[in-house]
Amino acid sequence: MSKKILLQHINVPGIHTLETYVAHGGYQSLKKAFSMSPDEVTEEVKKSGLRGRGGAGFPTGMKWSFLDKKSEKPRYLVCNADESEPGTFKDRYLMQHIPHALIEGMITSSYALGARTSYIYVRGEMMNVIQILEKAIQESYKAGYLGNNILGSNYSLDLYVHPGGGAYICGEETALLESLEGKRGNPRNKPPFPAVWGLYGCPTVVNNVETIADVPWIVNNGGEAYAAIGVGKSTGTKLISACGNINKPGVYEIELGVTVEDFIYSDQYCGGIPNGKKLKAVVAGGSSVPILPAELILRTINGEPRLMTYESLSDGGFVSGTMLGSGGFIVYDEDQCIVRNLWNFTRFYHHESCGQCSPCREGTGWMEKVLHRIEYGHGKMSDIDLLVDIAKKIEGKTICPLGEAAAWPVASAIRHFRHEFEEHVRNPESCCKRHLHRSMELVH
Amino acid sequence: MNNLKVTIDGKSIEVPPGTTILQAARMIGENYPPAMCYYTPLKETGGKCRVCLVKVTQGSEANPRPMPKLVASCLTRVEHGMVIENETSPEVLEARKGVVEFLLINHPLDCPVCDQAGECDLQNLSYKHGTESTRYEEGRREFDKIDLGENIQLHMTRCILCYRCVYTADQLTNKRVHGVINRGDVSEISTYIQNAIDNDFSGNIIDVCPVGALTDKKYRFKQRVWFSKPFYAHRECDKCKGEAVAWVKNNDVIRVTARKNKFGEVLDFICNNCRFEHKNMNDWTIGEPYEMDNDSVITTNKYKVLDHSPAVNVDAKFVSE
Amino acid sequence: MSILSSNTIQEITKLKSRYPDDRQKSALLPALHLAQAEQGWLPVQAMDEVAEVLDIQPIEVYEVATFYTMFHVKKVGKFVIEVCRTGPCCTVGAEEFVQYMEEKLNIKVGETTEDGLITLKTVECLAACGTGPVLQIGPEYIYQENMTKKKFDDLIEELKIKGLKDV
Ligand SMILES: Cc1cc2nc3c(=O)[nH]c(=O)nc-3n(C[C@H](O)[C@H](O)[C@H](O)COP(=O)(O)O)c2cc1C
Ligand code: SF4
Ligand code: FES
């Protein structure tokens, strides 16, 4: 069995309550952290090699050390629980079942950062998760883990849940901060980064739910123990949301380093593909990362088995590799249509673009319309290269990475499955689901 | 603090700390990047349209690494020893062409009937950076025209969402009533519930608009801009400095606008009283002819050439009139 | 006369304490959720009242309410069913399921049933991709996961009864 850090007690009845959570070792990291200086806690996180679990994989300890400590202003920790990347549902699972894991992580992390007020920004659709968290926070206040002078440490913290309103872009950290300030979720131009100019113009760290929930274990067991798990620079465990055409969809905590093949086919994880169908393709890290055909997701271009690590998945760069991203693992069997799936994804980005910068605002809609044409049998051969060119003209030209997130799926699907696009143009009858026209149109 | 040395397209200049790449390029004075959303007199503008992207091939003397992506020159501050490529970089030109194409795909190209024709930044931009023909075959986005009170009309279909007017209203008036509603490519500038914009300085949103989305209702269709002659004009005013431009035809003031610098930016915002209510020659002390921005299609007499570009479908009959 | 109940206005006022004194605009999203939970949607007057409680301009509320997909600025049915239409759910039949919903309710996506009971909307990924097809119904937004035609039929019956009871 693979090591469990976050989900070890997931099946314990009542683990969502403070009492049961504490009975299973919960909230121990507080005492340990308070016996250390904030910088020592940060140091342990650095040593752990923990990398952001929200998608970009940026080293967490390093991010924390960028926080502007010279500033006289208050500092904030904001938890990114906006989880909206298609294919990703791990944060919701964790918060719903073990809310105190996140709250404990928020307290130790806020202590390390010197934050006196912290927010958990939860996407508004997860109203019941918000209620679960609110309740857990109240329990935590009552037990003296939150509020003034926590456990006699002289450290005080207020923690609030803040609901979003329905916008994928608010997962982008600066859009999230704008949204938390009560504005439209328009990402900010960077620099300045949140570490210097974040919430209310104050130094701020934004971290993913899973990242923060990993911190208590690191504090309890030491950064080195965490770093000993996993492979190379991919330390620790990772929650993978597995979905699509697999026998056992769900959230799995894996030690970074299991092989992709094992992850897809072993009964411990996805349990293979239903109905004896063949594997066609995988989107390994949420909809924004490049799609890979079966042969390239199982083995790198050099024939090595592909591992579930940051490095192995990106082996081959954008030509033959992809990214671990948020760990949203979407599996496609041989019956799935790459063109239709891509059209669906481009519609998503078109719908979710905040509309601030011209390449993304105009380009995402253009790509969607061209793909819609191809999928519904009105495509031209030249449309395929047109799509590649539009994607190229968006990528790297935008305010925030949603531009890339919209461009990469297009570029990679055409790179690896061009024949399927050509077949749609040549033979419109091959477009599988044209009868489902109206209901799947973009309705704003 | 010492001045910082920057090199743009091979030309070097020393600038004070805090200067942006765009400002430095404007100081050099030739072939500076275009800017559709950034506007010096307005705080927080910039970074949105992406036409000003440039390539930083050397970050600074201390850290010479190039920047991985093109950067928005309007917001990126120069560092000592920074080396920048603007028009000498094929990558920049290609990206700019892309952005212009994006800006045009949903633009109505109704230049023949647009008040802004001849003084439109998008028209100038597409003349310089656009492509011959459009690759866009899908339907264009359309909105109904709306009146923002009795003086200003909003033609949202033409808007490129630079947000300048919103910042103008935010920073010049005490009660903003219009803003950006909806999101993505259906975002629009609106009051949402057809509120009239009614404030002493609201008329300035017309002058900051880089296209013909916000127009002076009292001027609309009176004349094409190039049939009237602009003059420096002054009047005593208790709300603003009263320093404006009067557009004159046959001894008639057909409209009043603020004075702008060569980058198309307003020098002094004028009040609605001066702008909308003083249309007689004897309301104003008329001075010298007002010089136009030297990049404009009007001044470079390139308007006819533009007519033949299918990407900007200007009806030739207005030119030969 | 205000249309928001004094209870809701009180709740919104309470929310302000979560944010620094000069940053009470921060309470806007949670405030709009409260207003919508009470009204079923967000008429202009409700938005104006929220603006007043938070001491901001009405346009600041309109800008925000129209940006986020959860807020209904046009009148909707008593219940709004929002079903995920994004890629992962489609690998497990979301598209066919949406079509079934349309047939069953005899409306198209974006429309409201004649009796004003149900508005059908599609939404983007709800972070329930492992348990699709998935839908949710405000104002509680409890997810209904692993949807089947049978489950949907039962749900509609339930909503009909609930709709009658509340009247
Ligand atoms: C369009 C977009 C959407 C994003 N959505 C999320 C999200 O839902 N959850 C998340 O944790 N990070 C998301 N991110 C990444 C965040 O910007 C940020 O990098 C992350 O919250 C940092 O936390 P971490 O370092 O712990 O991963 C998104 C980024 C982009 C560009
Ligand atoms: S890239 Fe898209 S989502 Fe990001 S700021 Fe620009 S328009 Fe908004
Ligand atoms: S794709 Fe439907 S919930 Fe994720």
Question: pLDDT, tens digit, for every residue of C143-163?
Answer: 999 999 999 999 999 999 998
Same-domain pairing of C96 and C146: yes
Question: In this predicted structure, what is the pLDDT of residue B295?
Answer: 54
Using DSSP bridges, classify how beta strands B188-190 and B179-181 pair: parallel, antiparallel or unpaired.
Answer: antiparallel
Please state the atom number of ligand 2 nearest to the C-alpha of residue B184: 7
A324 lines ligand 2 (CB under 6 A): no
Q: What is residue A231's three-state secondary structure?
A: strand
What phi-psi label fits residue C152: left (phi over 0), alpha (psi between -120 and 50 degrees) or beta? alpha
C-alpha B98 chain-centroid distance: 19
Q: Do B183 and C44 touch (CB under 8 A)?
A: no
Kindly report, residue by residue over A263-280, the tens digit of the pLDDT.
999 999 999 999 999 999
Establish if C72 belongs to a structural domain: no
Query: From ligand 2's centre to the CA of C103, what distance in Å?
Result: 36
Single out the residue of C126, C47, C44, C42 nearest to residue C81, CA to CA: C126
Single out the residue of A402, A404, A407, A405 nearest to residue A387, CA to CA: A407
Percentage of residues in chain C having pLDDT higher than 90:
93
Q: Are A199 and A78 in contact (CB under 8 A)?
A: yes
- Please name the member of B177, B178, B181 whose beta carbon is closest to the beta carbon of C66: B181
Using DSSP bridges, classify how beta strands A158-163 and A117-122 pair: parallel, antiparallel or unpaired.
Answer: parallel
Same-domain pairing of C144 and C94: yes
Distance of alpha carbon A328 from alpha carbon A93, whole angstroms: 13
- Those chains having 3 or more beta-carbon pairs within 8 angstroms of chain A are B, C
Establish if C26 belongs to a structural domain: yes
Same-domain pairing of C104 and C158: yes
C131 lines ligand 3 (CB under 6 A): no
Nearest CA in chain A to C120: A439
Question: In this predicted structure, what is the pLDDT of residue B220?
Answer: 54
DSSP state at residue B241:
-
Q: Are B189 and B157 in contact (CB under 8 A)?
A: no
Establish if C56 belongs to a structural domain: yes
Same-domain pairing of C130 and C53: no
Q: Give the closest-approach CA distance of C76 to chain A in angstroms.
A: 15
Q: Are A64 and A205 in contact (CB under 8 A)?
A: yes
In which band, very low, low, confident or very high, does the pLDDT at A58 lie, cut at 50, 70 and 90?
A: very high
Please state the atom number of ligand 1 nearest to the C-alpha of residue A88: 8
A407 lines ligand 2 (CB under 6 A): no
Single out the residue of B96, C98, B106, C126 nearest to residue A364, CA to CA: B106
Kindly report which listed range (A353-367, B280-294, C47-61) carries the lowest average pLDDT score. Answer: B280-294
Establish if C1 belongs to a structural domain: no
Nearest CA in chain A to C18: A160
Distance of alpha carbon B262 from alpha carbon A212, whole angstroms: 52
**For a substitution probing ligand 1, which of A80, A94, A122 has the most ligand atoms within 8 Å of its CB?**
A80
Using DSSP bridges, classify how beta strands A328-333 and A237-244 pair: parallel, antiparallel or unpaired.
Answer: parallel
Strand partners, A253: A239
Angle, helices A99-113/A38-48, rounded to nearest 10 degrees: 120
**For a substitution probing ligand 1, which of A95, A173, A179, A180 has the most ligand atoms within 8 Å of its CB?**
A173
On the CB side of A227, CA atoms within 13 Å amount to: 15
Strand partners, A240: A252
Choose the final residue of a domain: C67, C93, C115: C67
Instruction: State the average pLDDT over residues A294-317.
Output: 96
Q: Do C90 and A180 touch (CB under 8 A)?
A: no
Q: Give the closest-approach CA distance of C119 to chain A in angstroms.
A: 13
In which band, very low, low, confident or very high, does the pLDDT at A235 lie, cut at 50, 70 and 90?
A: very high
Instruction: State the average pLDDT over residues A378-401.
Output: 97
Nearest CA in chain B to C61: B181
Establish if C73 belongs to a structural domain: no
Q: Please report residues of A whose CB lies closer than 8 A to that of C23.
A: 181-182, 200
What phi-psi label fits residue A303: left (phi over 0), alpha (psi between -120 and 50 degrees) or beta? left
Both tokens assigned to C127:
């972070």
**Among the bound ligands, the one closest to the CA of A170:** 1
DSSP codes, A64-99: HHTS-SS--S--EEEEEE---STT--HHHHHHHH-H
Looking at chain B, which runs of residues are DSSP E strands?
Answer: 4-8, 11-15, 53-58, 71-72, 82-85, 146-148, 152-154, 179-181, 188-190, 214-216, 229-234, 243-249, 252-258, 285-289
Single out the residue of A215, A228, A231 nearest to residue A109, CA to CA: A215
Nearest CA in chain A to B76: A191
Radius of gyration over alpha carbons of chain C, in Å?
18
Question: In this predicted structure, what is the pLDDT of residue C153?
Answer: 97
Same-domain pairing of C90 and C15: no
Establish if C138 belongs to a structural domain: yes
Percentage of residues in chain B having pLDDT higher than 70:
88
Query: What is the residue type of C72?
Result: H
Strand partners, B148: B152
Same-domain pairing of C87 and C29: no
Question: In this predicted structure, what is the pLDDT of residue A246?
Answer: 97
Kindly report, residue by residue over C77-119, the tens digit of the pLDDT.
999 999 999 999 999 999 999 999 999 999 999 999 999 999 9
Instruction: State the average pLDDT over residues B253-258.
Output: 92
Query: From ligand 1's centre to the CA of A168, what distance in Å?
Result: 10
Nearest CA in chain C to B181: C63
Same-domain pairing of C84 and C160: yes
For chain C, the domain total comes to: 2
Exposure string over A231-269, b if 16+ CB within 10 A, otherwise e:
beebbbbbbbbbbbbbeebbbbbbbbbbbbeebbbeeeb
Complex ipTM: 0.96
Kindly report, residue by residue over A158-178, the tens digit of the pLDDT.
999 999 999 999 999 999 999
Query: From ligand 2's centre to the CA of A407, what distance in Å?
Result: 12
Q: What is the dihedral of CA B29, B30, B33, B37, to 10 degrees?
A: 50
Domains of chain B: 4-92 (3.10.20.740), 106-132+141-216 (3.30.70.20), 225-302 (no CATH)
Question: In this predicted structure, what is the pLDDT of residue A262?
Answer: 97
Choose the final residue of a domain: C67, C98, C113: C67
Same-domain pairing of C129 and C151: yes
Could you say which residues from 171 to 200 on chain B have a Cβ atom under 8 Å away from some Cβ of chain A? 180, 182-187
pTM to 2 decimals? 0.94
A130 lines ligand 2 (CB under 6 A): no
CATH code assigned at C86:
3.40.30.10
Q: Give the closest-approach CA distance of A48 to chain B in angstroms.
A: 28
- Please name the member of A356, A397, A444 whose beta carbon is closest to the beta carbon of B53: A397
Q: Please report residues of C whose CB lies closer than 8 A to that of B178.
A: 59
Query: From ligand 3's centre to the CA of A325, what distance in Å?
Result: 17
Distance of alpha carbon A132 from alpha carbon A81, whole angstroms: 13
> Best interface-test mutation with C: which of B193, B194, B202 has the largest number of C CBs within 10 A?
B193
Q: Domain range spanning residue C39? A: 6-67
Same-domain pairing of C25 and C49: yes
Q: Which residue has the higher pLDDT, B321 or A402?
A: A402
Q: Using omega within 30 degrees of 0 as the cis cutoff, is the peptide bond preceding A194 cis?
A: no
Instruction: State the average pLDDT over residues C38-56.
Output: 97
Same-domain pairing of C62 and C85: no
Both tokens assigned to B75:
């917001």
A49 lines ligand 1 (CB under 6 A): no
Same-domain pairing of C90 and C52: no
On the CB side of B167, CA atoms within 13 Å amount to: 17
Q: Are A269 and A252 in contact (CB under 8 A)?
A: yes
A132 lines ligand 2 (CB under 6 A): no
Strand partners, B58: B83
Q: Give the closest-approach CA distance of C161 to chain B in angstroms.
A: 35
Query: From ligand 2's centre to the CA of A353, what distance in Å?
Result: 6
**Among the bound ligands, the one closest to the CA of A239:** 1
Distance of alpha carbon B2 from alpha carbon B42, whole angstroms: 27
Q: Do A397 and B138 touch (CB under 8 A)?
A: no
DSSP state at residue A304:
P
Strand order in the sheet with B229-234: B252-258, B243-249, B229-234, B285-289
Minimum CA distance residue for ligand 1 atom 10: A54
Q: What is the separation, in whole angstroms, between the first and last Cα of chain B?
A: 57
A171 lines ligand 2 (CB under 6 A): no
In which band, very low, low, confident or very high, does the pLDDT at C166 lie, cut at 50, 70 and 90?
A: low
Establish if C108 belongs to a structural domain: yes
Minimum CA distance residue for ligand 1 atom 1: A402
Q: Are A244 and A287 in contact (CB under 8 A)?
A: no
CATH code assigned at C51:
1.10.10
Choose the final residue of a domain: C67, C96, C116: C67
Residue A20 CA: distances (Å) to CA of A92, A144, A220: 20, 16, 19
Strand partners, A234: A231
In which band, very low, low, confident or very high, does the pLDDT at B311 lie, cut at 50, 70 and 90?
A: very low
Distance of alpha carbon B157 from alpha carbon B314, whole angstroms: 17
- Those chains having 3 or more beta-carbon pairs within 8 angstroms of chain C are A, B
Establish if C84 belongs to a structural domain: yes
pLDDT surpasses 80 at B318: no
Radius of gyration over alpha carbons of chain A, in Å?
22
Instruction: State the average pLDDT over residues A58-78.
Output: 95
- Count other Cβ atoms within 10 Å, centred on residue A426: 12
